[in-house]
């Protein structure tokens, strides 16, 4: 994981997401092993019903997130459901990081009113709200991107799947503080653009060419 992070930085990434839940043995010792990357990382320990890979008990996952938050990563990602179900635990996390409060729909893209409510609940609990759905049609991208009409600097919103790639890229133009990309030829999720594409588009935007 540290080697892949180094590759991403070498290609020009500002920050990396460390998916701790995808490690084979994400025990307490992982915090020390990745501490040197904390200030340039999003640390995530996603539970299975939210699309993650953590197979231990929920209390173990919460304890690991607490330990990782003590490293003061740039961001720490916590699911909206986790934050709402464990308010005392959530309030006790270290305050040295910005909190991404995330909400996912892996079945499709619900009505815009549902997305708005999820965004507002997440935004009330963290510095960044993250709303991710599955694109079943091209129109689903527009539905999700409309969320950027309000307070775009505190929102990450896009569609998963090959039909959702456009929403990932347009988030860069609409004010998203984070764009999720992959190392070349190593996508972690369907529709995830390569880092080289995102950096190239960012340069064009900064040059005022689109």
Region of 51 on the Ramachandran plot (φ > 0 left; ψ -120 to 50 alpha; else beta):
left
CB burial class (10 A; 0-12, 13-18, 19+) of residue 103? buried
104 flagged as catalytic: yes
Catalytic: which of 4, 130, 136, 203? 130
CA pair distance 102, 160, nearest whole angstrom = 14
Q: Does residue 48 carry a catalytic annotation?
A: no
Q: How far apart are the first and last CA of the chain?
A: 34
CB 201, CB 179: distance < 8 Å: no
Active-site residue (options: 4, 48, 104, 143): 104
**To which H or E segment does residue 156 belong?**
strand 155-160
Rounded to 5 degrees, φ, ψ at 176 are -60, 130
Three-state DSSP class for residue 207 = coil
**Residue 2: which of 27, 39, 35 has the closest Cα?**
35
The residues annotated as belonging to the active site are: 104, 130
């Amino acid at each position: 994981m540290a080697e892949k992070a180094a590759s991403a930085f070498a290609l020009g990434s500002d920050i990396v997401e460390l998916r701790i839940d995808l490690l084979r043995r994400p025990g307490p010792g992982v915090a020390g092993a990745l501490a040197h990357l904390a200030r340039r990382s999003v640390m995530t320990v996603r539970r299975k019903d939210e699309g993650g890979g953590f197979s231990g008990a929920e209390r173990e996952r919460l304890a690991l997130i607490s330990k990782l938050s003590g490293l003061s990563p740039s961001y720490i990602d916590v699911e909206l459901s986790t934050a709402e179900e464990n308010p005392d635990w959530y309030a006790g996390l270290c305050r040295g990081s910005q909190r991404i409060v995330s909400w996912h729909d892996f079945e499709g893209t619900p009505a815009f009113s549902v997305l708005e409510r999820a965004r507002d609940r997440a935004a009330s609990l963290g510095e960044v709200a993250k709303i991710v759905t599955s694109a079943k049609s091209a129109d689903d991208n527009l539905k999700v991107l409309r969320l950027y009409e309000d307070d775009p600097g505190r929102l990450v919103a896009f569609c998963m799947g090959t039909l959702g790639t456009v929403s990932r890229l347009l988030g860069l133009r609409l004010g998203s503080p984070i764009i999720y990309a992959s190392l070349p030829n190593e996508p972690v999720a369907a529709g995830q653009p390569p880092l080289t594409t995102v950096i190239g588009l960012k340069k064009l935007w900064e040059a005022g060419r689109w």
